[in-house]
Amino acid sequence: MTQWLDPVEQRAWQAIVALMTRIPGALDTRLQRESGLTHFEFRVLSLLSEEAGHRLQLSDLAHKANASLSRLSHVVSKLERLGWARRDTTAGRRGVYAVLTDEGFEKVIEAAPGYVDAVRRLVLDGLTEKQTAHMAVLGESLSDRLNRILVEDGD
């Protein structure tokens, strides 16, 4: 028999749902207006910019971006058309790499200040340092648990 959420659990869940649904849209709106990028496109470019050689195997990039390989492949195709990324293979190695182009790196640099400002305004400025640190611990714990469950379930 299902055990319903108690009032505190219900409050916690409703807060998470509100954040999951409102923050991505707000970030998309800001990034689209200022840089012509979606939040996910910025995330992919940003992740590549942080890697040595600005390259990462597509499967590893999908994992880091919390995306399916199919979704990531679609976005990388768009980024290729825009000249911000390219696909590459390395002789003797399995898998395809996404590589950030110089133009893609410039795009990340251009978009980053607006992104950081939006993150601060939408989330971090409303928290104390202690709350931010606590949220980091909670977020990492929830993310680790979710990853374990999804691996166990084969998702």
* Tens-digit pLDDT profile for residues 58-72: 999 998 998 999 999
CA gap 37, 40 in Å, rounded: 8
Sign of the Cα torsion 30, 32, 37, 41 reads positive
Question: Which pLDDT score, from 0 to 100, does residue 94 have?
Answer: 76
Q: What is the mean pLDDT of the chain?
A: 93
- Name residue, tokens 């505190």: 8
* Percent of the chain residues topping a pLDDT of 70: 97
Q: Give this prediction's pTM.
A: 0.86
